Structure formats: C-alpha cells, structure tokens
Structure 1
Amino acid sequence: MKRRWPKIKHFMQHPDEVQKRMFTKLVELAKNTEWGKKYHYKDIRRFEQFQERVPISSYEDLYPYIERMLKGEQNVLWSSKINWFAKSSGTTNARSKFIPVSRETLQKCHFRGGRDMLSLVVVNKPDTRFFRGKGLSVGGSLSPNPHWQGTYYGDVSAVIMHHMPRWAQYLRAPSLETALMPNWEEKIEAMAAEAIPLNITSALGVPTWTIVLFKRILEITGAKHIKEVWPDFEIFVHGAVAFQPYRELFDSLAPGISYMETYNASEGFFGLQDDLSRDDMLLMLDYDMFYEFIPLSEVDKEHPQTLTLDQVELDKNYAIIISNSSGLWRYKIGDTVKFTSLSPFRVKITGRTKHFINAFGEEVIIENAETAITAACNATGAVLNNFTAGPIYLGSQSKGGHEWIIEFAENPSSMDTFSTVLDQTLREVNSDYDAKRHLDMALIKPVVHNVPEGTFYEWLKQRGKIGGQIKVPRLANSRVYLDEILNLVNSRF
C-alpha cells in the first residue's frame, strides 16, 4: 500500500502533466470507435480541438449509444468489450440510468480508488488496526441484463464487489452472496448475522444505510455502541451524501472512530480524503479520467464555457465534466464542486446541478441546506436521520417559501428555535435567499415538519428505491417529493 503513495504525490505535484497524459491516452484508445470516427479523434492533438469538435453530453444525449450497447453492440463509445453497466439510483428523475463500465474503468479507476483508499488509511494512521480484521461493505445488488445474454447491471458497488480480486474479497465482509442479495430488508438481517461474530475493523457505505445496519446490530446484541461489538473498529469510509448532518449520530453509535470521505459514483471514482484532519478531498488525476469544469453561471447555456484544471479558481462552484475509459465523453455527471486547494487540487462537493431550490431566484444549493441544518441541529441538540426540502409556491393570497420535511433520531429541544436557526443560517450563507427573505417580501420563514422515525424508509420502499446506493433527494425545485411524503405521513402515521 505504501508503494502507491509516491505516485499519488506525483500527480499532486504535476497535475497538468498527468491530465494531459490521461487526455492523450483516452483519445488514442477511442479513435477507432464509432464515436471516435464521428468526431475524428485520430486528428485530435490538442484539447482545443477536442473542445471544438466534441459536444458536452448529458445522459439523454448519450442514451441512444448506450441503449445499443445494452443490446450487445460493441466499439460504440469505447474500444474494449463492455458487459457491465452501473445502474444509477435515479434520484433526479424517475428513470434509471445505465452507465457503461469497461474493464479499464474497473481496474484503473474503481479498483485503483479502493487501493488508494487503503493506502491513505495507512499514511494517515501508521498504527492502524485496519488489517487485523475485515471491512464491512454495505453495497447493492446485480441483475442479468434482459436485453443481451451475458451482460449485467446493478449498483456500482455491486459491480465492483463482483469483480474484486481474491485478496480484496478476503479483507471484506459479509460474503459476496449476502452482499449482493436483492432484498434490502433481508440483506440487513443477513449482514448483521454474519458480521456480529467477526472482528470488523472498518465499514464502507452510504451513511443512511450504515446507520440502519448498525442500529439493527445493536438491537440484536444489546450493546450500547458498535465498539462493544467490535473493539478494533476504527474507521468509517463514507460517500454519496454529505456526512456532517450524520456525524453526531455516528459518534454515538461508534464513539472514538475516524472518518474518511470518498467521492465515488456510477461514472467513476473521483476523490479521496487524503488528510483526515481536513474536510475536503484530493481530486484523483490518474484514474483514466480527464476533467473539465463549467462555472455555475454557464451551466444552463447551450454552449457553456469549460475550464481545465489550470484555469479553475478557489471557492467557486463548478459543474464537473468528465471523459473516461468507459466512453463517457464530455459528460455532465450532475455534481457541483468547489476547489478548496489548487496545489494540490482538492474539492468539496457542493450539490447537484439538478438538486436545488430556485423557485424565487434564491438559488439554494445542497451545501447551503446542509450547512443550515447542521447549525440548527447543533443549536437545539437534535440528531438527524434524513431530510428533504422544496418550495411553497406563491398563491393568490399567500407568499412563497420553503418547506422542510425532517426525520430526527433525537428531536430538537425547540422546533421554533430549530426553524429560526435554519432560516438565519440560510440567510448568512446565501445572499440571494437573504434578499428574498427581507421583510418577508418574497419568502416567508421556512415551514418545518418533524415526521416520525421510519418515514423516509417507508417512502423509499413505496417507490421501490430500497438499496445501498439509494439516496433521499435533499432538494427539489418542485413539490413532488414533499407531497408524496406528506401524503404518506397523513395516511400511515
């Protein structure tokens, strides 16, 4: 693991060189694909040519090509054979997405990311107990592709687990059979039963579902916290959703452990928390991935300006554009980030390009919401389970506002104080929101619902969205999620 550290330091110190190498490699390997011939990759020598010829693509733009790949066609977007697809959770719309996963992406991106995660644990914790036991992986499931025999799709975590080398399988728990079970409720029970007798030293997963598993283990064992079950448990590696709102709950479930954030998605592995004393992530630059960034002000333009790493600035929000070794070309992954360091390049995830509230020009992004809800929890002693928020539309006799549905593990000391701090913090971190809130002219104080524990689980279950990679949409610019959840609460609780 330590041998990898000098290579990580190399791309930290020479980012432009490494990214140019990634760009040249990707274009060269794809020049004889259908896509490469369409855009004359064989003649591309400079990024500016690539930028001029190749359009920025959404999933909808690439889907006609991906659909053909799902039906068995090869050499369409990428040169090597593609038999695996990562099925996204579809949190921004009802339709699932199927992201092609090549062997190069598995080896040079996802697996390299996993190995680098272990390397950085060793670098940060030289006396680590990580390898004394097993890592508990909370993952998803796989299904045969009905369109073409011999191909499969599933959560990216499940695709990765299925292909893990033997040494990595040895380090993890539960068994692969249990980890890939399709029924999530049965899987929680099976995972708990398998894991309790083992020496678990770490866990890897989405915070929300890891909490469900840990709570079930404590119910079965009668232990007060996870360290009573596994004394050597020392680190939780998390991703997919912001961790800060869950930090206090994790501290009570597993006191004294360390945390490491990863930036891993269906489209690839992008970042790792290289320094556990910081709250940002190192952008990983040698993962068969070439990066571009769109300033947030340009996102909705037909032909937005894109920047390379040498052009980005600190503390500005950018939408990420990637080109990778699975044939995603100038692809909008939907995330927004800001750079917290330019030497080396470190980022924080600030939200989604489609997950925001902007019904009144307030442009509230996920980072704003998570900062505000964390402040409100801290001020009232509340512990969060889950939340979502959306707009209250202007009516003929009413003003507009925001409506929050929040499920607490521990209720706030005062809901009125919670709502006030939430509102005040949003005003502090978002000047557009503050302007709309001035004298209640455009927006009234947020309406906050404290819903019973289990509400979000039941809602996801009704939508057929139970799984290790499924996330509650934090913000929406419509009332679809709000109305569904409130109707559930009124009918079930």
Structure 2
Amino acid sequence: MIQRIARSILNSYYKPVESFLENPLDTQLRTLQYLLEHGQNTLYGKKMGFANIKNYSGFNKNVPVISYEELRPYLNKIIVDKKENVLWDTPVKWFAMSSGTTEDKSKYIPVTKESLYNGNYRAGYHMLGTYAVHHPETTFVLGKTLVMGGSQQVNMIGDSIYTGDISAILMKNLPRAVKKRRTPEEIALLPDWEEKLEKLAEYSKKTDIRALIGVPSWMLVLLKKIVEETGRSITDIWPNIEVFFHGGVSFIPFRSQFNKLIPSDKMNYWETYNASEGFFGVQFTPESSDMLLILDNEVYYEFIPVEEWDKENPQTVPLEGVEIGRQYAMVISTSGGLWRYKIGDTVQFSSINPYLFRLTGRTKQFINAFGEELIVDNADKAIEEACLKTGAKVNEYTAAPVYFSESHNGAHEWLIEFETEPNDLKEFTLLLDESLKKLNSDYEAKRSYNLSLNIPVVRSLEKGVFYSWMKQREKIGGQNKVPKLSNDRRYIDSILDFVSKKS
C-alpha cells in the first residue's frame, strides 16, 4: 500500500509538466509578466523602466543583456550596503556560490524564497514525475537517496547572509520528511571534501541506497572508494539501486565506467540541468538524454545565436524564435533577481514540440584558435567513440591549442587520465582525430592536408593527477569541474607544470 501511495504521489508531480507542454509560449509570456510585476519596484526595475514594459519587444529594447561583472555592483548593494529591493522585491538570504570552470574566484548568485521553492524545488518535482511516468514500477522512494552535494559556509560575505553550493542550499531548506529519505545533512554539508567522502562511504555501506544524485565525476570517486574498501560490487552492496539523477557535466565520458561499477539492467540514468542560477531541464524519455526545457519555474528564457556571442550588445531570440540544430547561449531572467543574465552555457534544440535540448558546452569552453570552433559536445562524443573502438575508459580530460611556430603548424594538445589505457595510444589519437572530423566540418577543413592543424598531441596522465591538481587549487567536490576545453593554454600549462613538479 505504501508503494502504491508513493507511486501515486510521484505520478501527480507530472501534471504541471503536462500543463506547460500544452501551452509553452503562453507559460513563458505569463512568466515574463510575473517577473516584471515583481521587479518594477526594485532599484534595477526602476532604472530600466519595468513599469512601462508591456511585452517582450519592450523588454528586449530597454533591458541590456548582462554578464556577472555587470551584475556584481548590484550584489554589493545587497551584501555590503544591506539594501533591500535591489534586484527582487523579497529579501535575499542565500547566495549560491558558483566557482565555474573558467573563473578564478567564486560567483555569488542570489537565491530568493521564490526562486528556491517555485523554481528549484518545483523543477525537482518535475524531475521525479517525469521519471516515474516512464518507470511505473519504481521503488526508489522506499529506500534512501545518496546525494553528493556541496558545502555550506555561514556569514562569509556579510552578516546574516549565507553562502554555499546550490546543492547545499537546496538540502538545507528541504522539508523534514524529504530530508529523512536522503543523505544525513550533517554528512552531506561537511565543508571538508575528503572528510565528507570518508563519512559518505561509511554511511553508504550499511544503508539501503536506491537512488543517487550528483555530478558524475565526483560520484564516480565515491563509488570506486566503496568498491575498493569492501571488495564487493555496488549491486551487491545496494541490491535495490535503481537510478542516478546526474548533471553538471556530460555523462558520455563516464557511462562505461558506471556500467562496469553497477552491472544491472535495472539501473537507470536520468539527466538533469540544475545550475547555481536555477533548475532548467530534465530528461524527457528513457530512449534519449535530451532534456525538456522547464517552463513553469519562474524563469524567462532567451537565446543568443552563436554568431552574436562575442558582441557587446548581442541580439537574442525568445523561445518561439529558436531553431532546431543551431547553437545558442542561454540568457535568463528569474525570480532570484537575475535580469537578462548570460549564464554561460550553450544549448542546441532537437525539438520544438516539445522543447527538447541538450547542453553542448560553455561560451568560454571551446577551442577556436584556428577557426575550428570545437565545442565540448564534439570533444565528449569523439572521446566516447575512440574509447568504444579501443576498449579504453577515460576518467577526465582537458584540451587546448598548440600555437603556430616557425617549426610546426598548430594542433590541439589533449591531457587524458585513463581508467583503462588503450593498448595503442597512437591508434586512440587517430580515432579521436577521425571522429572530430566527422563531428565538426570546421575542424575537418582545418585538418585537411595538415594546412592549419596537425594531428592532435595526446598525453596520458597518471591516475589521480586531475584530482590532485584540483585539490591544489582548492576546487574539489561540489560543483567544481575540470575545464574540458580552453582557447588558451593557462589550464593545460598549469597541469603540465604540476605534473613536472610532482615527478
């Protein structure tokens, strides 16, 4: 009876999804009107004339697209000057720390009661409902959910202002009944990553874990630790394990390792797009990892076409203007007080009925030193294909350009940490190169006859190098990620220097 009740509740979470699927554009229009209504009496809203904006055309014309650097002065008014009604008309008590992959310092993203409950939590229910509709026999809610979240830090940026990874903020404010079904808060919110890892492993070994939530790279670290310490398989330790709700980085490079660690036909993987700025997407069907854009989470979406990314005043299109197959940078306005904010992620739509998309990278994570326009999505898929054909498995990788010199043309240098090394690294390199050519016509053109680009330079790193490098930079755990691609050599040279000093 408990199982039937649980399934009924999960299925009810899908009803709002059906509602915005029927009227996606109307839902977005209502969201814009709601946001403007709440924003018109704020400092930012008065400056931008929100009270006189009646439609998207006026919004687009009068409100600029901004970056974090342009947002920061308004955040200082909240944090330092203790002003209210700066960006939103209710108090801001939390700031989500977003270290990102290309920023040296943390960003502080405002989180309001509305963005937390009507945005993140509502989208979380949509995630559960969408999964349950496709898996009517699900039982994961009858066990525990292991959450690999971030840490919280109190009073670090101002009196009575709390900061932490968005996962920590979400966990801290969850209803008590939900907290009981998850990793204990006293473990999940530990600030010391290695202490947390140790205690999570100990807790997990003796608990009926049925679902996992977290970033694939860090979850993999925990699962390997559990397997090594027990000498048992994950399915032996957790016979009822059913689903991993994952996000943060592409799952493609990690899939084979998870399949090996959790050898069960009953195991499901469900992709999510939950960033510090909001919860924006959830996998729509088991057959494809393409995600449904969540439209009733108090987020108004706009999209910058690829040719506009580097412009000071980029042209945007609303949801009704997107085209299948084009690359866009996402711009959001939210009930957290973000207004036409460039989030930095890039997406590509695979459907507009419903609006399905996939993440393709970051506006600051690409290689275009020679006009090749290589994005993370290309890199992930090429790595996957080379692994499939050589039997290799990859833990982490990063790539950057090798610049022209008097003695050689340009190239891409790849640092790869293999879980399972290919028998022939040269063969792996050739396959990686061929796959990139198939995936990216610009790359193929630049590689033709080695005129602009030579064959990639692939270097195999010892296991644990990326972890140690990230630890040295105080960027382990939580939402910290290894930068996959960079258009300059700052990261790759830093890693090579780290390896040199270590040896």
Q: Which residue of 1 aligns with 2:244?
A: 236
1:444 and 2:454 correspond: yes
Q: Which residue of 2 aligns with 1:152?
A: 162
**2: distance between equivalents of 1:87 and 1:67?**
15
1:57 and 2:66 correspond: yes
1:119 and 2:110 correspond: no
TM-score for both structures, normalised by structure 1: 0.98
Of 181-190 and 85-94, more deviation after overlay is shown by: 85-94
Q: Deviations over 1:105-161 (max 9, x none)?
A: 100111112222221221111111211201100011011233421111111111111
Alignment length (residue pairs) = 491
Identity of aligned residues (%): 46
Q: Deviations over 1:436-476 (max 9, x none)?
A: 11111111000001100000000000111012211000000
Q: Which residue of 1 aligns with 2:424?
A: 414
1:369 and 2:379 correspond: yes
Q: Displacement of 1:95 after TM fit? A: 1.9
Q: Which amino acid in the other structure matches residue 236 of structure 2?
A: E
Alpha carbons 2:270, 2:289 under 8 Å: kept: no
* 1:239-250 map, 5 Å: 239-250=247-258
Q: Which amino acid in the other structure matches residue 29 of structure 1?
A: H
Q: Deviations over 1:377-428 (max 9, x none)?
A: 1110011100000000111222110000000111112111110011111111
**2: distance between equivalents of 1:92 and 1:490?**
23
Alpha carbons 1:87, 1:153 under 8 Å: kept: yes
SS of the residue aligned with 1:77?
Answer: coil
Q: Displacement of 1:89 after TM fit? A: 1.8
1:221 and 2:227 correspond: no
**1: distance between equivalents of 2:301 and 2:12?**
26
**1: distance between equivalents of 2:59 and 2:74?**
19
**2: distance between equivalents of 1:73 and 1:165?**
29
Moved over 4 A (4+): none
**1: distance between equivalents of 2:161 and 2:167?**
17
1:92 and 2:102 correspond: yes
* 1:330-409 map, 5 Å: 330-409=340-419
Q: Deviations over 1:294-315 (max 9, x none)?
A: 1101111222221111111101
Q: Displacement of 1:73 after TM fit? A: 2.1
Q: Which residue of 2 aligns with 1:276?
A: 286
**2: distance between equivalents of 1:203 and 1:374?**
23
**1: distance between equivalents of 2:468 and 2:255?**
23
**1: distance between equivalents of 2:349 and 2:137?**
31
Alpha carbons 2:100, 2:481 under 8 Å: kept: no
**1: distance between equivalents of 2:176 and 2:137?**
25
SS of the residue aligned with 1:280?
Answer: strand
Q: Which amino acid in the other structure matches residue 25 of structure 1?
A: Y
1:9 and 2:18 correspond: yes
Q: Which amino acid in the other structure matches residue 449 of structure 1?
A: R
Q: Which amino acid in the other structure matches residue 199 of structure 1?
A: D
Alpha carbons 1:356, 1:475 under 8 Å: kept: yes
Q: Which residue of 1 aligns with 2:261?
A: 253
1:185 and 2:164 correspond: no
**2: distance between equivalents of 1:484 and 1:44?**
48
**1: distance between equivalents of 2:409 and 2:157?**
50
**1: distance between equivalents of 2:123 and 2:144?**
18
TM-score for both structures, normalised by structure 2: 0.96
SS of the residue aligned with 1:203?
Answer: strand
1:35 and 2:48 correspond: no
Of 456-465 and 409-418, more deviation after overlay is shown by: 409-418
Q: Which segments of 5 or more consecutive residues in structure 2 lack a partner in the other structure?
A: 1-9
**2: distance between equivalents of 1:145 and 1:58?**
25
**2: distance between equivalents of 1:90 and 1:120?**
28
**1: distance between equivalents of 2:397 and 2:96?**
26
**2: distance between equivalents of 1:482 and 1:303?**
31
Q: Displacement of 1:486 after TM fit? A: 1.2
**2: distance between equivalents of 1:341 and 1:358?**
28
**1: distance between equivalents of 2:426 and 2:178?**
49
1:204 and 2:213 correspond: yes
Q: Which residue of 2 aligns with 1:22?
A: 31
**2: distance between equivalents of 1:282 and 1:438?**
38
Q: Which residue of 2 aligns with 1:288?
A: 298
Alpha carbons 1:155, 1:469 under 8 Å: kept: yes
